[in-house]
Amino acid sequence: MATPEQTTRSAADDAPHTVSITRTHLADGRELIYFDDEPDYVAGTATRELHDSRDLPPASTVSEMRRDPLTGEWVVFAAHRMNRTFMPPANENPLAPTTAGEISTEIPADDYNVVVFENRFPSLSLHIPDDVQFSDYVDDTPLYPRGAAQARCEVVCFTPEPSKSFKDLSFSRARTVVEAWAHRTKELSEIEGVKLVFPFENRGKEIGVTLQHPHGQIYSYPYLPARARAVLTQAKAHEEKGSGSLFDAILHAEQTSGRRVLINGEHFLAFVPAAAEWPVEAMVMAKRPEAYDFACLTAAEKDELTRIYLRLLGAIDNFFDGVEKTPYIAAWNQAPVGEDRRYGRLYLQLFSMMRSPNRMKFLAGSESGMGAWISDTTPERIADRFREILEAGEK
């Protein structure tokens, strides 16, 4: 019988929201963590099933990375993901609770609030066998640096109900997800070599999801991905020329204009970026300079962020007439791990590739070939539509 590594309650001193955290390991050695907000679990009078009854071989995955000499960017190769689970039938949903008489899933318990576990098909892996060694260079030429893509990828299940979306969660359950993001950000940032922690959600078959069950993922990276590195470069340059924080400048500019502001909270500002790339796009940025990532947030900040996020998710699903579930990506940008941390800030990019009802914007020649974005709308039109929906919801 598996036993938890620890069982704790996690909450800031001023937080009314308390979460019970219980750890275990799956049959192949991957870690699984339950995050429970229901009173019986918080009080310790109820427990989750910890034993994974499946017969699985030990987790063993090989991921490597190589640097492109033309761009300087790293590319990860994870060939084991080619045959990962793809749109299984309802009775084979690996993210559902394990039900008596049915196929055992990734989650041993017959119910859960929020659960996080190591991805069975990770892009970056901490389960690379010891006997797998990568040379420092491809073909022994310094032109092509390479190495093991060692980091951790996790799955975050928002709810045991497969037909729901994040926007359908109660405030309390969504707040538990925020606690899970904060908890995992802190621990993943402590892994040796990790440079960035990135929580995200892909929603919709149009995005390319392989499992319809409502879930997100958390990637930790042993390098700074292209966007994070570009933002870091811009933030450093802005400060070095004597202009202060780039993020504070953006917040000031958007609040002064007001033209694209969607929600102006005490701790966060939701707005459409002035240079929005996607047909539907919104950003939520922390106002406090020290809010580098989820782990830095106060209880009050987590509460407000949860409310704003739920409102935006409700709005994006009403953005297009006749579309019940708008496909989207929710990308939570966080500060880099390490000495450049002060040049980062927690902010959300929420965007959709849908340009009109059931019609997608494809990243073709200009975007894919040159990284040169062409928008079919304007940020102001996007903001007008968001505000129309948000204001209607307040009536």
Burial (CB count within 10 angstroms: exposed 0-12, middle 13-18, buried 19+), residue 88: middle
One-letter amino acid at 377 equals T
> Rounded CA gap, 162 and 159, in Å?
7
Using the 8-state DSSP alphabet, how is residue 336 labeled?
Answer: P
> Rounded CA gap, 213 and 94, in Å?
9
Distances (CA, A) of 3 to 6, 112, 156, 324, 347: 9, 17, 21, 42, 36
Q: Give the N- to C-terminal CA distance of the chain in Å, as an integer.
A: 53
Is residue 70 classed as helix, strand or coil in its secondary structure?
A: coil
> Rounded CA gap, 53 and 40, in Å?
25
Helix-then-strand count for the chain, H and E: 7, 17
Q: Which residues in the chain belong to E strands, given as ranges? A: 7-10, 19-25, 31-36, 64-67, 74-77, 114-118, 146-148, 153-157, 196-203, 215-221, 261-264, 268-271, 280-286, 328-333, 347-352, 354-356, 359-360
Query: DSSP letter string over 338-362?
Result: STTGGG---EEEEEE-EEETTEEPP
Residue 38 near residue 109, CB atoms below 8 Å: no
Residues pairing with 348 in the sheet: 284, 332
> Rounded CA gap, 299 and 293, in Å?
13
215 is an active site residue:
yes
Catalytic residue among 17, 215, 238, 252: 215
| Residues designated as active site | 215
